[in-house]
Amino acid sequence: MPEYISKLFNLKGKVAVVIGGGGYLCSEMARGLSKAGISVAILDKNFENADKVSRQIKKGGGKSIAIEMDVVKKESHEQALENILKTYRRVDVLINGAGINVPTPFFDITLQEWYAILETHMTGTFLACQVFGKHMVSRKKGSIINMSSASSGPPLSKAFTYSVAKAGINNLTQNLAREWATKGVRVNALRPGFFPTAWSMKHFIDKKREAAILGHTPMGRYGKPEELVGAVLWLSSDAASFVTGAEICVDGGFTGMTI
C-alpha cells in the first residue's frame, strides 16, 4: 500500500520553492513538503524567519536553503531562481504565499497601503509566475500553487484590499492554467479557511467576529496549519496530473454553506 501511494504521488527528489516560507502557514507547508522527500527553498523578506524554517528542516534530515527576497522586485526573483538552480538544478513546485494584510476601515485606506497590499500579493505572484513559470515551461513540467483565500470572493469584511488582491490572484491562476495546460505546467489556487495566527486573533478577530466565523464554518472550528499540507502535497504531485485552474477549498466547509 505505501509503495502504491509513493508511486502515485511521485514526490521524492522534487524541488519546491516556497515564497513567504518564513510565515505561519507557509512554513508548515514547507516542513510538510520536506517530510515527503522534497528539497525546499524558503524565500522570505525576513531572512531570519526563512533561515529558522530551513534549519528546522535540515535538523529533521531534509534538504533546504533559505534566501532573502523582495517579492515586488523582478531581479530578486531572478537572483533567487539562479541561486536555487545552482544548488538544486531545477524547480518542480512553486508556492506563492507572500503577502500582507491590514484591517484598515475603508475610508482610512491610504493609496500607499492600497498599493503595498496589492503589490505583495498580486505583483509578487505575477513576478514569481513570470520568472519561475518560465523555467517550468522550458522544462515542460511544474506545479504552481497560488494562495487564494476564503476572502477572495465573496470578500470578508475588514479586508478590503486583501480581498481584491486574492480575487486577482484567482483570475491569474485560471489564465495561466489555460495558457500552460499543454506545456506541462499546472497552476492551481489553494483557498484556506480560517487559520488565525496570534496576530490575527489580536488585530482582526474579536468575540463577535469569531462567532460569525465559526457559525459560518460547518466544522465549527479553526483549521490547523498542518491540515493544509495534504492538499499542498497532492497539488504538487503527479496524483493531481489532471488538475489545473482549480481553487481548492480547505476551509471546514466555510465556502460551501449559507445558513
Partner 1 sequence: MNSKTVIITGGTKGIGAAIAEEFYKDDYHVVIGARHDNGFVSSLGPRAKFQQIDARKENDHHKLVTTANKWTGRVDVYINCAGFSAWNPIEKIDNRFLSEMLDVNLKGTFWGCKAAARFMKKGGSIINISSLAGKRGSVNNSAYCASKFGVTGLTQALAKELGNKGIRVNAVCPVYIETPGLMKALKSKVSPTKGQDIDSYFEEFILKQSALGRLPLASEVAKTCLFLASDAASVITGQSINVDCGVLPQ
Q: Do 19 and 94 meet the contact criterion of CB atoms below 8 Å apart?
A: yes
**Interface residue list for partner 1 (CB under 8 A):** 13, 82, 85-87, 89-90, 138-139
Query: Of 4, 88, 115, 162, which is the active-site residue?
Result: 162
SS (H, E, C) the chain: CHHHHHHHHCCCCCEEEEECCCCHHHHHHHHHHHHCCCEEEEEECCHHHHHHHHHHHHHCCCCEEEEECCCCCHHHHHHHHHHHHHHHCCCCEEEECCCCCCCCCHHHCCHHHHHHHHHHHHHHHHHHHHHHHHHHHHHCCEEEEEECCCCCCCCCCCCHHHHHHHHHHHHHHHHHHHHHHHHCEEEEEEEECCCCCHHHHHHCCCHHHHHHHHHCCCCCCCCCHHHHHHHHHHHHCHHHCCCCCCEEEECCCHHHCCC
Residue in 236, 160, 225, 240 with CA at minimum distance from that of residue 23: 225
Give the residue with the Cβ less far from partner 1, 46 or 130: 130
Give the residue with the Cβ less far from partner 1, 59 or 89: 89
**Residue 86 CB, nearest distance to partner 1 (Å)?**
6
**Residue 179 CB, nearest distance to partner 1 (Å)?**
14
Give the residue with the Cβ less far from partner 1, 138 or 175: 138
**Residue 85 CB, nearest distance to partner 1 (Å)?**
6
Residue 252 CA to residue 221 CA, distance in Å, equals 8
**Known catalytic membership, residue 162:** yes
Give the residue with the Cβ less far from partner 1, 89 or 208: 89
Phi, psi of 254, rounded to the nearest 5 degrees: -50, -50
Give the residue with the Cβ less far from partner 1, 52 or 139: 139
**Residue 131 CB, nearest distance to partner 1 (Å)?**
13
**Residue 237 CB, nearest distance to partner 1 (Å)?**
17
Query: Which residues carry out catalysis?
Result: 162
